């Protein structure tokens, strides 16, 4: 038997599997929602209970199962199994309440899923490309059943969240990121491919774990890695020519180097660098609207000078330049502090990317003392050092500013530089605060404070949706500035009055579409798009959204 499916403007006959094979096909399986006619037509009679459910009844059953699970990790495992069985029902469930399910599918739960990945593994999702496949990566990629792959999220597992190098266990991140493309922005899931580029791991404990699923070797030299990545990137262009490469959670030095190498050659971006920078900029735009203060007059101090910190700093500097500052002036307003102290010219351990933020100053290894001296208006933590913003640090920011902006962006939760409660308590309610994870609201002296979550899911799914429809030649930093501004513009006066820095997550799909419209408009305006500009961009985008229905 066959069914007609639409590919672009053409209809194509596709063979439909029969019986158990159909029930085992997650993209076509409807489970108990198969009608009487479908059961007869496709050899399903007797293989399902008598009742014919609606998809909403199925969601109700799923929610009951989830309520019975004791932890979010168990809910994560259950939802993963559901996607393996019935992709439509999985997305119908997740998209029914994104604010509830995003923390289960992604941060913070995905961190614990990655730590135990080899132990909770059920079924391969995506592809595992190991370094012993060098010389035939294109051949291996052709084993993927879909040809119209539009996004390939690839990680080496070299720097997962704040967990460090966890090798093949990092596959949970590309899987989770691409799930959010669909759950948050309705990018069709059949166009998405998670990939783990298995280069080995420096993690001795994992290599000794009998249930570890990756290569039990140490990573190759930088030169060998670059050769492997170059073959991989070229293979993707050959096998999936319409694909955008999404680099995710690579070791910091690799992430910066490889983005520089490929950003002007192929359609790609690095979410840890550009996505993190964009969502941080979005939160800063909102905070500065609350303060009625221009970005160009801020003094910004980072704790952490790796790929995330450099990426955020570069995007902020780029936005400052659009507002009238020179490159040198913009960079002069940004300082950095890392594990070895303040970045300043006497340091001999700085990379070229770090040196541009190493300004003339006395050496310091005391963050609070540095704040007293530099008097930053904004403090951003990307250090993965839990508790680094201690009471001395927050109080120093509060003495220097009537309303200090404090972003503790490291995750998972225990890696956050401070909690929302600590930031509000130690600043006596003055701080404008956001974290990389969602902290609960805080009540202090009878007043309720609403911490923001500077999570990339506000940005990358929308940029992905814009890329899916507009098919740009390249993704530029300016696209991510446009996304940041679009995100910030959706935090209305009522939310800003509460100190909220990001939109409410309950209407995430509408927000992502709105951001995607703005980014697509920018792509058309800048000549990046490779399709004809429609009259009504929003209606055009909405007509291409994935809908989880049978």
**83-93 per-position pLDDT tens digit:** 999 999 999 99
Terminal alpha carbon distance of the chain: 18
- The verdict on residue 12 lying in a domain is no
Q: Within this chain, do residues 445 and 424 fall inside the same structural domain, yes or no?
A: yes
Domain boundary residue, one of 454, 485, 508: 454
Residue 412: the pLDDT is 82
| pLDDT grade for 6, boundaries at 50, 70 and 90 | very low
Q: Residue 249: which CATH number?
A: 3.40.50.10380
For 180, half-sphere exposure in the C-beta direction (CA atoms, 13 angstrom radius) is 29
212 is catalytic: no
- The verdict on residue 367 lying in a domain is yes
Q: Within this chain, do residues 251 and 295 fall inside the same structural domain, yes or no?
A: no
Residue 505: the pLDDT is 84
Query: Is pLDDT at 4 greater than 70 in this prediction?
Result: no
Residues 6+ apart with CB under 8 A from 199: 130, 131, 156, 158, 215, 219, 220, 225, 228
What stretches of 397-446 adopt beta strand conformation (E)? 405-408, 432-435, 442-444
Give the DSSP H or E segment for 4.
strand 2-7
Burial class (CB in 10 A: 0-12, 13-18, 19+), 17: middle
Residue 366: the pLDDT is 97
Query: Is pLDDT at 152 greater than 80 in this prediction?
Result: yes
Q: Within this chain, do residues 397 and 523 fall inside the same structural domain, yes or no?
A: no
Query: Each residue of 490-546: pLDDT tens digit?
Result: 999 999 998 899 998 889 999 999 999 999 999 999 999 999 999 999 999 999 999
Q: At what angle do helices 87-96 and 55-67 cross, to 10 degrees?
A: 70
- The verdict on residue 375 lying in a domain is yes
106 is catalytic: yes
Query: Each residue of 261-304: pLDDT tens digit?
Result: 999 999 999 999 999 999 999 999 999 999 999 999 999 999 99
pLDDT, mean of residues 187-214: 97
Residue 8: the pLDDT is 43
The percent of residues above 70 in pLDDT, for the chain, comes to 97
Q: Within this chain, do residues 242 and 308 fall inside the same structural domain, yes or no?
A: no
Q: Within this chain, do residues 213 and 294 fall inside the same structural domain, yes or no?
A: no
- The verdict on residue 6 lying in a domain is no
Q: Residue 78: which CATH number?
A: 1.20.1370.30
Query: Each residue of 453-483: pLDDT tens digit?
Result: 999 999 999 999 999 999 999 999 999 999 9
Residues paired with 195 in a beta bridge? 127, 154
- The verdict on residue 11 lying in a domain is no
Domain boundary residue, one of 266, 282, 309: 266
Q: Residue 377: which CATH number?
A: 3.40.50.720
Query: Each residue of 517-530: pLDDT tens digit?
Result: 999 999 999 999 99
Q: Within this chain, do residues 85 and 108 fall inside the same structural domain, yes or no?
A: no
> What is the total count of domains within the chain?
4
Residues paired with 151 in a beta bridge? 192, 244
Residue 3: the pLDDT is 56
Query: Is pLDDT at 5 greater than 60 in this prediction?
Result: no
How many angstroms separate the CA atoms of 381 and 411, rounded? 10
Q: Within this chain, do residues 476 and 353 fall inside the same structural domain, yes or no?
A: no
Residue 212: the pLDDT is 97
How many angstroms separate the CA atoms of 459 and 480, rounded? 8
Residue 108: the pLDDT is 86
Of 479, 463, 470, 464, nearest to 531 by C-alpha is 470
Name the catalytic one among 76, 91, 106, 546: 106
Q: Within this chain, do residues 119 and 145 fall inside the same structural domain, yes or no?
A: yes
pTM, rounded to two decimals? 0.93
Residues paired with 418 in a beta bridge? none
Name the catalytic one among 30, 177, 251, 415: 177
Query: Each residue of 426-455: pLDDT tens digit?
Result: 999 999 999 998 899 999 999 999 999 999
Domain boundary residue, one of 227, 246, 266: 266
Q: Which structural domain, as residue segments, surrounds residue 307?
A: 274-454
- The verdict on residue 520 lying in a domain is yes
- The verdict on residue 2 lying in a domain is no
Query: Is pLDDT at 12 greater than 60 in this prediction?
Result: no
For 396, half-sphere exposure in the C-beta direction (CA atoms, 13 angstrom radius) is 19
The percent of residues above 90 in pLDDT, for the chain, comes to 91
Query: Each residue of 333-369: pLDDT tens digit?
Result: 999 999 999 999 999 999 999 999 999 999 999 999 9
Q: Within this chain, do residues 92 and 108 fall inside the same structural domain, yes or no?
A: no
3-state secondary structure 190-253: HHEEEEEEECCCCCHHHHHCCCCCCCCCCCCCHHHHHHHHHHHHHHHHHHCCCCEEEECCCCHH
Q: Within this chain, do residues 308 and 380 fall inside the same structural domain, yes or no?
A: yes
Q: Within this chain, do residues 216 and 309 fall inside the same structural domain, yes or no?
A: no
Cα–Cα–Cα angle for 303, 431, 419, nearest 5°? Answer: 60
- The verdict on residue 9 lying in a domain is no
Q: Within this chain, do residues 325 and 289 fall inside the same structural domain, yes or no?
A: yes
């Amino acid at each position: 038997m066959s069914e007609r499916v639409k590919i672009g403007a053409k209809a194509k006959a596709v063979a439909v599997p029969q019986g158990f094979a159909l029930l085992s096909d997650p993209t076509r399986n409807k489970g108990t929602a198969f009608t009487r006619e479908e059961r007869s037509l496709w050899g399903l009679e007797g293989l399902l209970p008598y009742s014919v459910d609606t998809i909403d009844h199925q969601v109700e059953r799923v929610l009951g199962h989830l309520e019975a699970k004791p932890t979010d990790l168990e809910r994560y495992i259950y939802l993963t199994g559901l996607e393996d069985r019935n992709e439509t029902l999985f997305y119908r469930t997740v998209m029914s309440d994104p604010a509830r399910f995003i923390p289960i599918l992604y941060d913070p739960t995905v961190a614990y899923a990655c730590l135990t990945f080899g132990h909770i593994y059920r079924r391969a999702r995506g592809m595992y490309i190991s370094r012993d496949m060098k010389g035939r990566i294109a051949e291996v990629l052709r084993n993927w059943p879909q040809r119209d792959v539009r996004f390939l999220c690839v990680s080496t597992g070299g720097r997962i969240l704040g967990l460090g190098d966890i090798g093949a266990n990092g596959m949970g991140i590309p899987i989770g990121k691409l799930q959010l493309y669909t759950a948050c922005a309705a990018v069709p899931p059949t166009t998405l491919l998670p990939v783990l580029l298995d280069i080995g791991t420096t993690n001795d404990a994992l290599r000794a774990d009998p249930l570890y699923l990756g290569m039990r070797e140490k990573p190759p030299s930088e030169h060998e890695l670059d050769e492997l990545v170059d073959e991989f990137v070229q293979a993707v262009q050959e096998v999936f020519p319409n694909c955008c490469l999404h680099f995710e959670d690579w070791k910091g030095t690799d992430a910066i180097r490889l983005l520089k190498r490929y950003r002007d050659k192929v359609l790609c971006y690095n979410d840890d660098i550009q996505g993190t920078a964009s969502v941080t900029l979005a939160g800063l735009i909102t905070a500065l609207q609350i303060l009625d203060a221009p970005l160009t007059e801020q003094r910004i101090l980072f704790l952490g000078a790796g790929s995330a910190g450099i990426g955020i700093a570069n995007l902020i500097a780029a936005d400052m330049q659009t507002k009238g500052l020179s490159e040198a002036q913009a960079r002069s307003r940004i300082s950095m502090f890392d594990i070895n102290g303040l970045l300043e010219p006497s340091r001999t351990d700085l990379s070229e990317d770090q040196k541009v933020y190493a300004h003339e100053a006395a050496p310091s290894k005391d963050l609070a003392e540095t704040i007293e001296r530099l008097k930053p208006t904004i403090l951003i933590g990307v250090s993965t050092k839990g508790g680094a913003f201690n009471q001395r640090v927050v109080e120093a920011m509060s003495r220097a500013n009537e309303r200090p902006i404090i972003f503790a962006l490291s995750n998972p939760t225990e890696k956050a530089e401070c909690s929302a409660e600590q930031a509000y308590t130690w600043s006596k309610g003055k701080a404008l605060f956001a974290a990389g994870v969602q902290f609960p609201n805080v009540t202090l002296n009878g007043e309720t404070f609403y911490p923001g979550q500077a999570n990339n899911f506000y940005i990358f799914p929308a940029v992905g949706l814009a890329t899916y429809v507009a098919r740009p030649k390249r993704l530029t930093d300016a696209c991510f500035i446009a996304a940041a501004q679009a995100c910030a513009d959706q935090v209305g006066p009522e939310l800003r009055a509460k100190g909220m820095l990001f939109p409410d997550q309950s209407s995430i799909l509408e927000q992502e579409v709105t951001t995607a419209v703005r980014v697509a408009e920018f792509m058309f305006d800048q000549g990046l798009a490779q399709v004809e500009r429609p009259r009504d961009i929003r209606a055009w985008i909405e007509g291409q959204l994935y809908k989880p229905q049978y």
